[in-house]
Amino acid sequence: MSSYTGGSRLTYSEYLRLNELLELQSGEIGCEREINNDETHFIIIHQIFELWFKLILSELRCARNLLMSSHVEEAEIPKVVGHLNRVTEICRLMANQWKVMETLSPQDFLVFRDKLGTASGFESWQMRELEFLMGLKNDNRSKGMDPLKHYKKLANENPTYLKGLKILEKTIKEPSLDDVLKKWLERTPIQGSFISDKNDEKFVEEFIDNYLDSMIDQNKKTLENMGEYSSVDIETLEARFESNILSAREYLRPEGKTNRGRAGLLFIEAYRDLPLLAWPRKLIDSFVELEESMVIFRTYHARMVERIIGRRVGTGGSSGVDYLDETTKYRIFKDLWGVRTILIKKSALPAISNSELYDFK
Ligand code: HEM
């Protein structure tokens, strides 16, 4: 440890490198002027977030690496869940940390805002790295957003960003959590059939057909009940239920081709009470919780920003709150959100075959 100064006992401050850490809040390098309390608070909060981002990145990498293998041992799943849950709790904590930021009044921020020039959270490479690692693609970002292009520009202008650029160029080529999750879901045994089994396709197609039939049946019953009492006219209701079935078909067989990963996900969600599906279902829940906590973190950031700078342009040049609100619509694990729309109640599920495969031995 480089800061270990060589007493006989490792001290608290040596272990945590406190001398170096507590030197880092004085504002820009070489700035002689004392910064006021509000600005110190502003810097400390940013640094705390960046430290959390650092931990989030290492947790996400551990989860991704465990799930990346072509055969994930059952005993590994709780470990993946553990890493994801830690990230979720950090995001929840970060969402609440915006409350501390909000103790900065708009007027007090204006005292030092000009000093920031065009510096903005927009330039946080760790934030971009965690988006890459989770699997956020440019197509799903706010229009025109291309973090790598932005980073090349930043690094061109200032070499301090070369390190960030290198990290981002490397991370974007790595498999994302979304990629490895999709591959893992694809291998889910469906009705007792494994992807490598000879008749797998038959089992999967049968499962989908039977499931869609049950869904149509359910929708019919719900429509009958609703039709009598709903304030919405029957034609509109019929069209809504019809579109629900069409989207279920498109979800399971996009452009007519079966998506085994989504079918596997539906199977886990539908038969989630089966003993051997307990951890897979927990894993899926952990991904959903993670993304939900991330959305809440983004939402609270936007609300804090609205309170402090209103609707003005951000220091990074974006539309400010409007841009941040757009980012709250990002969804990475889209299949996990999509499956919720097509779930039906347990008693209406088609019978399961080979259920013994999903029991504890
Ligand atoms: C007074 C406090 C803050 C204000 C007014 C503020 C405002 C903004 C605005 C307007 C943007 C949009 C980009 C731009 O045009 O600048 C932004 C982006 C961002 N801010 Fe903040 N922010 C504040 C504090 C923080 C803190 C403490 C962090 C922690 C690291 C942070 C992290 C980010 C990140 C990561 C982005 C990029 C979001 C994305 O593109 O998805 N901000 N902020």
Domain ranges for the chain: 53-358
Q: Amino acid letter at 103? A: T
361 has a pLDDT exceeding 70:
no
Instruction: Write down the architecture of domain 53-358 according to CATH.
Output: Up-down Bundle (1.20)
> Of 51-65, 177-191, 342-356, which range is least confident?
342-356
Q: Are 188 and 204 in contact (CB under 8 A)?
A: no
- Mean pLDDT on 290-307: 98
pLDDT tens column, 61-94: 999 999 999 899 989 999 999 999 999 999 999 9
3 has a pLDDT exceeding 60:
no
How far apart are the C-alpha atoms of 189 and 346, rounded to whole Å?
19
78 CA to centre of own chain = 18
Establish how many alpha carbons lie within 13 A of residue 177's alpha carbon, considering only the half-sphere containing its beta carbon. Answer: 31
For residues 186-211, one letter each, b for 16 or more C-beta atoms within 10 angstroms of the residue's C-beta and e for the rest, the string is eebbbbebeeeeeebeebbebbbebb
**How many angstroms is it from 122 CA to the middle of ligand 1?**
6
**145 CA: nearest ligand 1 atom:** 40
Q: What is the pTM of this model?
A: 0.94
Average pLDDT, the chain: 94
User: Is the beta carbon of 46 within 6 A of some atom in ligand 1?
Assistant: yes
pLDDT of residue 33: 65
**313 CA: nearest ligand 1 atom:** 15
- Probe residue for ligand 1, chosen from 39, 122, 137 as the CB with the greatest number of ligand atoms within 8 Å: 122
- Probe residue for ligand 1, chosen from 38, 113, 120 as the CB with the greatest number of ligand atoms within 8 Å: 120
Q: Which residues contact 153 (CB under 8 A, 6 or more apart)?
A: none
Tokens standing for residue 299: 């939402």
How far apart are the C-alpha atoms of 253 and 251, rounded to whole Å?
6
How far apart are the C-alpha atoms of 98 and 121, rounded to whole Å?
14
User: Is the beta carbon of 295 within 6 A of some atom in ligand 1?
Assistant: no
213 has a pLDDT exceeding 70:
yes
DSSP letters, 184-250, are: HHHT--BTTB-TTSTTHHHHHHHHHHHHHHHHHHHHHHHHHHHHHH-SS-HHHHHHHHHHHHHHHHH
pLDDT tens column, 225-248: 887 788 888 889 899 999 999 999
From the list 259, 278, 280, 251, the residue with the least C-alpha distance to 343 is 251
How far apart are the C-alpha atoms of 184 and 279, rounded to whole Å?
13
**How many angstroms is it from 287 CA to the middle of ligand 1?**
25
Q: Whose CA is nearest to atom 17 of ligand 1?
A: 121
**How many angstroms is it from 321 CA to the middle of ligand 1?**
9
What is the chain's Cα-based Rg?
Answer: 25
pLDDT tens column, 9-57: 999 999 999 999 999 998 766 666 678 999 999 999 999 999 999 999 9
pLDDT of residue 29: 66
pLDDT of residue 2: 47
- Probe residue for ligand 1, chosen from 124, 305, 308 as the CB with the greatest number of ligand atoms within 8 Å: 305
Report the greatest alpha carbon distance in the chain. 82
